Amino acid sequence: MESSPLAPARLFSCAGQVAVVTGAATGIGRAAAEALAAAGARVVLAGLASSKPERAAAGLVGQGADAIGVVCDVTDAAALAGLVDTTVRRFGRIDTVVANAGAALDDPGADAMEMLDRMFDLHVRAVARLADRALPVMAGGGGGAFIVMSSLSGLRGNRLLSGYGVTKAANAQLARNLAVQWGSRGIRANAISPGVIATDFARPITDDPSAAPARLAKTPLGRFGTPAEVAGAVVWLASPAGAFVSGQNIVIDGGTLVSD
């Protein structure tokens, strides 16, 4: 049965792929990079200099993966172009992109419009620029998976994460548009919308003795998610198992969205 195309080792294999993950040094991005490498992909981990993507890549290399780290501020168009160029020079192709870099900058004490502009640049313009650079390369190699990390906040009304939710809703729509625009060239574009995942990013919720119980009460599974549970969806979308999935927004939230 191991030779069957339905065997998990083949159905969920990313062997031979080259994957680029932004925001890859920590949290969900780090888990996605590790999972793709474990599935056989060569991985480029991109992140801000402060996150030390080279160190994260070295950790994967120490586990036997073929990986490199690239310092990249995704809001810098030249840096994004350099990320794609570096990947092609090193590995010759791109098969999967995980546009994961993001930040929640909503702050009651800050200028709301300024924060909205910054998050739109990070969650929407940067993803569009990355697609503009990477998708022609991917299409030239026969296609691939472009995965946008959106958020449950983009599917619900938000009391505090207003600009974050607005820009995450926008990047999920961008994924749908890319699926239509690039499908004929073999590109599958999808969004993933995690709920509260136990990472440093989510600590204002998970570590708050008043906020955490309230959120858990609204989550049918009664717990927070793990980065590995989001990374599993990334591998699924990048692998043969996800080869007919495009234009979707995969919600990974323990049932929060559908809870009454």
Number of DSSP helices (H) and strands (E) in the chain, helices first: 10, 7
Residues 6+ apart with CB under 8 A from 168: 102, 123, 150, 151, 153, 154, 193
> Could you say which of 91, 146, 164, 236 is catalytic?
164
The encoded tokens of residue 62 equal 């120490």
Give how far the C-alpha of residue 166 lies from the chain's centroid of Cα atoms, to the nearest Å.
Answer: 17
Residues 6+ apart with CB under 8 A from 258: 220
* 164 included as an active-site residue: yes
Angle 106-196-42 from CA coordinates, rounded to 5°: 100
Residues counted in the chain: 260
Distance CA 152, CA 169 (A): 9
Q: State the angle between helix axes of 227-238 and 27-38 in degrees (0 to 180), rounded to the nearest 10.
A: 50
* 191 contacts 150 by C-beta, under 8 angstroms: yes
Q: Which residue has the tokens 């049932």?
A: 255
Instruction: Tell me which residues are annotated as active site.
Output: 164
